[in-house]
Amino acid sequence: MPELPEVETTRRGIEPHLLDQQVERVVVRNGRLRWPVPEDLDVRLSGQHIRKVERRAKYLLIQADAGTLICHLGMSGSLRLVPQGEPPGKHDHVDIELASGQSLRYTDPRRFGLMLWSHDPLSHKLLARMGPEPLGDAFTVDDLFAKSRGRKTAIKPFIMDNAVVVGVGNIYASEALFAAGIDPRREAGSVSKQRYARLVGEIRAVLARAIEQGGTTLKDFVGGDGKPGYFQQQLFVYGRGGLPCLKCGRELREAKLGQRSSVFCGHCQS
């Protein structure tokens, strides 16, 4: 699933092509996504100018004059710019045609993504109860430490909880915990404030590096420009169970946490 860096990479890739552009029409070939595409999306969006392209957690918010298109890429979705008239493929479900002659094309083989229309997107039930952005000022050591008190859940699923902090998915949680030297199995409530301070810094650093590299290509992710991400080349633990630790050389271990595989170093993380 595209995680926060992949979604931010997409946002940065499509934003210059969308800002102040007028939408000429919306072509919905298959609206049966995780949530159905509104039947009147073409009516609502056609003729509107796009004013902002923002991100909240893993959601893209394409703000027009009269409302906002909420987009989620699901498990395998992508948004990219193509010339109008380019023949669609089997999984090209939605085209937003612009006055520039380009189309914003939504592709999603598994159809787990969504496109919804809202006049107040941050109050939508999908976004309303989310925690702070990990790269924003509201994500602080004090806040994370306070939320962790009394929590017996393992620290990895704790920092992956969108009510705690948004957008720290499986890949980047694994990498940040390794960089901070924290065993992902440790109870969140047992970690000291000093160690949380380091973890906050590493979460920020890992996500920032991933965004700079265009995200992580694990299967078929590409950014808004159609190019893959390269952060996978810098992964220390994710997907490397049984291989030598790149720091100490010992074999990396693997455990199930919150129904997800977690790879860690029993020597470098405690």
- Give the CATH number, domain containing residue 29: 3.20.190.10
Determine if residue 110 is labeled as part of a ligand binding site. yes
**46 and 14 within one domain:** yes
Report DSSP state, residue 201: H
- Residue 50 · residue 64 · CB < 8 Å: yes
pLDDT confidence of residue 225? 47
**257 and 161 within one domain:** yes
Determine if residue 253 is labeled as part of a ligand binding site. no
Q: For the chain, percent helix, then strand, then coil, each to nearest 5?
A: 25, 25, 50
Which position among 2, 5, 38, 134 bears the catalytic label?
A: 2
128 occurs within a structural domain: no
Q: Count the alpha carbons within 13 Å of 70 in the hemisphere toward its beta carbon.
A: 22
Which position among 58, 80, 195, 253 bears the catalytic label?
A: 58
Determine if residue 91 is labeled as part of a ligand binding site. yes
pLDDT confidence of residue 215? 54
- Residue 25 · residue 97 · CB < 8 Å: yes
| Spans of the chain, pLDDT less than 70 | 1, 215-233
Straight-line distance from the first to the last Cα atom of the chain, in angstroms, rounded to the nearest whole number:
28
Which position among 51, 227, 240, 260 bears the catalytic label?
A: 260
pLDDT confidence of residue 213? 83
Question: What backbone phi and psi angles, to 5 degrees, belong to 40?
Answer: -100, 20
Which position among 3, 6, 8, 97 bears the catalytic label?
A: 3
**198 and 233 within one domain:** yes
CATH number, domain at 199? 1.10.8.50
Residue 176 tokens read as 């940040």
Is residue 3 flagged as an active site residue? yes
pLDDT confidence of residue 216? 52
Is residue 2 flagged as an active site residue? yes
pLDDT confidence of residue 220? 41
Digit-coded pLDDT (tens) for 109-150: 999 999 999 999 999 999 999 999 999 999 999 999 999 999
Total number of domains in the chain: 2
79 occurs within a structural domain: yes
178 occurs within a structural domain: yes
Is residue 184 flagged as an active site residue? no
**211 and 101 within one domain:** no
Is residue 58 flagged as an active site residue? yes
What is the span of the domain harbouring residue 258? 141-264
Question: What backbone phi and psi angles, to 5 degrees, belong to 76?
Answer: -145, 20
pLDDT confidence of residue 218? 37
